[in-house]
Amino acid sequence: MDLQQHALVVPCPAQGHVTPLIKMAYNLASHGIKVTFANSEFIEAKILAAMSDEDKKQCPLRLVSYSDGLESHPEQRNGLGLIDCLKKVMPDNLEKLIKQINHSDNKEPITCVIADLAVGWTLEVASKMGLKKVAVWPAGPACLALPFHIPKLIETGVIDENGSPIGNELICLAEELPLWNSSELIWSSPANLTAQKFLFDCSLSVKQAAENASIVLCNTYYELDSFSCAMIPNILPIGPLPAIKNLNPSSGTFSSQDSTCLSWLDKQPSNSVIYVAFGSTTVFSQKQFNELALGLELSGQSFLWVVRSNIVNGSFPEYPNDFLERTTGRGKIVEWAPQEEILAHTSVSCFFSHCGWNSTMEGLSHGVPFLCWPYMWDQFYNKKYICDVWKIGLSLEYDEDGMISRHEIKTKIDNLFSGDGFKTNALKLMEDAKKSVNEGGSSYENFESLIKYLKA
The site for ligand UDP (CB under 6 A) is made up of 15-16, 19, 253, 277, 279-281, 306, 336-337, 339-340, 356-359, 362
* Of 86 and 126, CB closest to ligand UDP: 86
- Assess contact for 393 and 371: CB atoms under 8 A: yes
Distance, in Å, from the CA atom of 365 to the CA atom of 428, rounded to the nearest integer, reads: 10
What is the H or E stretch that residue 153 is in? helix 150-155
Q: Peptide bond preceding 374: is omega within 30 degrees of 0, i.e. cis?
A: no
Cβ neighbours around 259 below 10 Å, total: 15
Minimal CB distance residue for ligand UDP: 16
* Of 110 and 355, CB closest to ligand UDP: 355
Smallest gap, in angstroms, from Cβ of residue 196 to ligand UDP?
20
Smallest gap, in angstroms, from Cβ of residue 354 to ligand UDP?
6
Smallest gap, in angstroms, from Cβ of residue 280 to ligand UDP?
3
CA 318 to chain centre: 28
* Of 40 and 253, CB closest to ligand UDP: 253
> Residue 313 burial (CB < 10 Å; 0-12/13-18/19+)?
exposed
Distance, in Å, from the CA atom of 261 to the CA atom of 242, rounded to the nearest integer, reads: 21
Smallest gap, in angstroms, from Cβ of residue 169 to ligand UDP?
29
Smallest gap, in angstroms, from Cβ of residue 456 to ligand UDP?
31
Smallest gap, in angstroms, from Cβ of residue 131 to ligand UDP?
28
Smallest gap, in angstroms, from Cβ of residue 255 to ligand UDP?
8
Distance, in Å, from the CA atom of 196 to the CA atom of 201, rounded to the nearest integer, reads: 9
Smallest gap, in angstroms, from Cβ of residue 128 to ligand UDP?
30
**Contact residues for 429 (Cβ-Cβ < 8 A; gap 6+):** 224, 364, 367, 390, 392
What is the H or E stretch that residue 137 is in? strand 132-137
Distance, in Å, from the CA atom of 145 to the CA atom of 420, rounded to the nearest integer, reads: 32
* Of 336 and 370, CB closest to ligand UDP: 336
| DSSP line for 37-81 | EEEEHHHHHHHHHHS-HHHHHH--SEEEEE--S-TT-GGGGGSTH
* Of 201 and 341, CB closest to ligand UDP: 341
* Of 98 and 307, CB closest to ligand UDP: 307
E strand map for 281-380: 302-306, 331-334, 348-353, 370-372
* Of 147 and 356, CB closest to ligand UDP: 356
What is the H or E stretch that residue 394 is in? strand 393-395
* Of 171 and 261, CB closest to ligand UDP: 261
